[in-house]
Structure 1
Amino acid sequence: MTLASRSEQQHFECLIEHLRRQLQGDEGFTLGYSGETSEFIRFNQGRVRQAGQVQQASLSLKLIEHGRHADLQITLSGEPQLDLQRLEEALLQLRQSLPLLTPDPYLLLNQQSWQSCVEQRASLPDSAAVVQQIEQAASGLDLVGFYAAGPISRGFASSTGAFGWHLASSFNFDWSLFRAEGQAVKAQYAGQTWQPEVFARRFALAREQLNLLGLPPRTRAPGTYRAYLAPAALQEILELLAWGGFSAQALADKHSPLQRLHSGDAQLSPLLSLHERVDGAMSPGFSSEGYPRHELCLIDAGRPGATLASSRSAAEYGLAANGASPWETPLALVMAGGTLEQDAILRRLGTGLYIGNLWYLNYSDQPAARMTGMTRFATFWVENGQIQGPVNSMRFDDSLYRMLGSELEGLTRETELSLSTSTYHERQLSSSRLPGALLSGLILTL
């Protein structure tokens, strides 16, 4: 029997009950489930070049006894008897390992018997219809892209009675359009309900930007320029900030790029509010450590808010665990929009840079939240509200306290959803919803 012909949740529950019956003495466990049924389509030169499906599921078993714990990953077959056998073998292997280990002082298990079950079974489009629309839109263009769609499942159970199940269906089309000279425009359309008219608008914008790349390129000297950061460019900045910026451990160890914000030595703009969403998000409402996740305000009108605290940080620093992942990075980051209308962006920018994407970001001075990276793809020089031509790739080097602090002039009313494009081992459920940002000044160094 395969996973396709049997309820994933029922299969997971069967494994949980079998595991409970196998426990001995003071043993306890946590059991995580991860599964997907995904369709992948790869495009090159505007045509389908590769298509396939992936159906997979795995367990993450942790055996605990007297403060000691050991972990093992198990690949599931979907056949009940075979998977029960694999689970028993994994339990025996961990049982043999535990006496060799020392107690973990930072093991903080959630003893609550919580229950959660959420399924977001969106009606995904027929792949043939998606391919047809993409090929029609890309007619005459050099398009390279990757389409992934299907349901993703996550589960959790513990010996103390906790149980969580989450299923979310989604699609993600990530593509680039290339000119013969090598310039490119990068775009993404993602969500749970494919809307042909929305995709058509996204594609039309990418096509328009591709045509603008054919204008004579402009060279700018290093300096400070007014700039508009499209949502994709702003996302690159926030993805870098997410590694340590909202982490309880990084703040406690004084390694966070937002250390100065939390200490009161620096400020962000009152226009800036960031939240970690749980309700309605595609990521599960519970962590892999067995804690329910909470809605968190990470930055409140420029002021520091809550931090993401995993169970280990909670144990080490005397905090309350709030369902953060072990890496303490946001899973469903949402930035509140502003009042800037989409059709007024160029007029409000006036003269400056329209930046569609940023690339290769890193910290040039992490304690000062100073970042550096490259403009890439659709970056244009604008004069008096009119695009004059593309700008060759340049390096910026600027502080977050300027970009999203003193220099933040406005945010777009419209926000854009972005889903993780990572497919290493499995598709991911992390997401962000961000506006575009108008800056009074952005420092370009070369």
Structure 2
Amino acid sequence: MNHTLYRRSFDMLEQWLHTQLAAGEHFSLWFSAEDSQFIRFNHGQVRQASQVLQIDATLRLIHNERHASDTLNLTGDVATDRERLGEALAGLRALLQVLPPDPYLQLDNQVFASDRVPEGSLPSADALIEQVGALSQGLDMVGIYAGGPMYRGFASSWGGRGWHVAISASLDFSLFHENGEAVKITYAASEWDADELAAQFAQGREQLAHLGKPRKTLAPGQYRAYLAPAAVEEIIGMLQWDGFSARALATRHSPLQALQLKTASLSPQVSISEMASTGLEPLFNSEGSLRQDQALIEHGHLVGQMVSSRSAQEYHLEANGADTYEKPSSLVMAGGDLPSAEVLQALGTGLYIGNLWYLNYSDIGLARMTGMTRFASFWVEDGKIVAPIDTMRFDDSVYDLFGANLLALTREQSLRISTSTYSQRDAQTLLLPGALIERFTLTL
């Protein structure tokens, strides 16, 4: 992991940009790079292995209340990259000549210095392949490993400056039964733990054995259910988009608008926060704002929102470091009192839902979602798994699931690191418990 290479590239480009400005001009530079190892498995064996080293930069030019930006790929060779940035700078100057002033331009021109290189320990490619190969013996295992350092940097002509390194990895895999059913597991960490990965495989083997049993067909209706953290992630992930956004709340486009208006409520067990100080994302965003820890829901009540500098200007709010999307990226949902080892006993008779997918809103104003049960989902009787269930559609409101119908949250929380690799690896994290629900609505 050559951290120095990326840091040097960022430092030299920033210094050069300061010398290129004309009178009255300002710039910001967002630097995003990764040194990632990707390994694809099929039948527990390596089918593809590759390394990705890439650097992207977004250059923003500001002059007379006008601004424009350009995103380009860099090489790591300083001379070549200066030339590319120079061409981008010339193009932005020409563009600013024809752009109108932005009435909501809110420049975060604070001077700051943020430098964080968190510790992390990941296996070598050879060690990872050996681990997975041994754990996959006798299994039809398909999956992909993505791991390595991610680099983020920000600099502005006003004196804001940040550098951040995030080290993480994930193994996103499925174990297939000969009948075509599968157990899906995602193990993610900054400190790779071979014993924890082995425990995940062991649980997968146990669930895989249950998938071989005759399936149980359920009639539409309401059932007692346990939602595993992976299923909770799908629901909370939907809320992340516009749920806590100041802009969406102000324009009544948020799925949590009823919570804001106090016409609906959540259980006192529910507390959700944006924890910038503990996540993998940097403590600064791409616009140069310092991210802050922000309580969003406390004991069932909406107490905060994600406020970008633009929304702060438009809606007369105080910005708290949210980016343009105003989406939590280091979200933590507090755990409860239910030990994870006692989940089946606490469930008694009902549904164990390992995962959900294809979620969408059936009524966004009421935070009502619909989707499908997915992968290892079982019928449980007297605290024991007795049969896998047919895939079913659910339709339920967050205010029911995490409101009056929420019985308990697990004491242990599961770290969910984004497995997105669209354009580049993502550093978004969620720390989530499982949830025991009194009534979960299946529609067909």
What's the TM-score bracket when you normalise by the shorter of the two chains?
over 0.9
Q: CA deviation at 1:98?
A: 0.7
1:11-160 pair list within 5 angstroms: 11-160=9-158
Alignment deviations for residues 90-127 of structure 1 (CA, whole Å, 9 cap, x no partner) = 11111111111001111111121011000124121112
Q: Does 1:266 align with 2:264?
A: yes
2:414–2:431 Cα contact (<8 Å) kept: yes
Which residue is equivalent to 1:212? 210
Find the aligned partners of 2:109 and 2:240 in 1 and give their Cα distance.
29
Local SS of the residue matching 1:22 = coil
Find the aligned partners of 1:119 and 1:254 in 2 and give their Cα distance.
39
Distance 1:178 1:95, change over 3 A: same
Local SS of the residue matching 2:322 = coil
1:298-377 pair list within 5 angstroms: 298-377=296-375
1:125–1:193 Cα contact (<8 Å) kept: no
Find the aligned partners of 1:319 and 1:304 in 2 and give their Cα distance.
16
1:245 to 235, 243, 246: 243
Find the aligned partners of 2:416 and 2:323 in 1 and give their Cα distance.
20
Find the aligned partners of 1:423 and 1:339 in 2 and give their Cα distance.
35
Find the aligned partners of 1:11 and 1:295 in 2 and give their Cα distance.
30
Alignment deviations for residues 2-51 of structure 1 (CA, whole Å, 9 cap, x no partner) = x9595322221211111111101100111100000000000011110000
Which residue is equivalent to 2:287? 289
Find the aligned partners of 1:52 and 1:11 in 2 and give their Cα distance.
23
Local SS of the residue matching 1:134 = helix
Which residue is equivalent to 1:439? 437
Alignment deviations for residues 263-297 of structure 1 (CA, whole Å, 9 cap, x no partner) = 11110000000011111311111111110000011
Q: Which residue type is aligned with residue 436 of structure 1?
A: G
Alpha-carbon RMSD: 1.1
1:170-189 pair list within 5 angstroms: 170-189=168-187
Note the residue ranges of structure 1 that are not aligned, 5 or more in a row: none
1:197 to 195, 198, 206: 195
Q: Which residue type is aligned with residue 172 of structure 2?
A: D
1:340–1:410 Cα contact (<8 Å) kept: yes
Aligned residues: 444
Local SS of the residue matching 1:233 = helix
| Identity across matched positions, percent | 51
Q: CA deviation at 1:193?
A: 1.2
Alignment deviations for residues 316-363 of structure 1 (CA, whole Å, 9 cap, x no partner) = 111111111211111011111111011211111011000000010000
Note the residue ranges of structure 2 that are not aligned, 5 or more in a row: none
2:33–2:151 Cα contact (<8 Å) kept: yes
Q: Which residue type is aligned with residue 100 of structure 2?
A: T
1:339–1:413 Cα contact (<8 Å) kept: yes
Q: Which residue type is aligned with residue 128 of structure 2?
A: V
- TM-score, scaled relative to structure 2: 0.98
1:121–1:151 Cα contact (<8 Å) kept: no
Which residue is equivalent to 2:426? 428
2:266–2:399 Cα contact (<8 Å) kept: yes
Local SS of the residue matching 2:97 = helix
Q: CA deviation at 1:425?
A: 0.9
Q: CA deviation at 1:298?
A: 0.8
Find the aligned partners of 2:275 and 2:355 in 1 and give their Cα distance.
25
Which residue is equivalent to 1:391? 389
Alignment deviations for residues 130-188 of structure 1 (CA, whole Å, 9 cap, x no partner) = 11111111111111100011000111111110001110111110000111111010001
Q: Which residue type is aligned with residue 410 of structure 1?
A: A
Q: CA deviation at 1:241?
A: 1.1
Distance 1:5 1:356, change over 3 A: closer
Q: Which moved more, 1:345-354 or 1:81-90?
A: 81-90
Q: CA deviation at 1:66?
A: 0.7
Local SS of the residue matching 2:88 = helix
Find the aligned partners of 1:14 and 1:338 in 2 and give their Cα distance.
48
Find the aligned partners of 1:353 and 1:6 in 2 and give their Cα distance.
51
Which residue is equivalent to 1:256? 254
Find the aligned partners of 1:196 and 1:45 in 2 and give their Cα distance.
20
Q: Which residue type is aligned with residue 149 of structure 1?
A: G
Alignment deviations for residues 381-422 of structure 1 (CA, whole Å, 9 cap, x no partner) = 011111110000001101100000010000011110111111
Find the aligned partners of 1:162 and 1:328 in 2 and give their Cα distance.
21
1:228–1:439 Cα contact (<8 Å) kept: yes
Q: Which residue type is aligned with residue 164 of structure 2?
A: H
Which residue is equivalent to 1:234? 232
- TM-score, scaled relative to structure 1: 0.98
Find the aligned partners of 2:265 and 2:423 in 1 and give their Cα distance.
39
1:417 to 415, 424, 432: 415
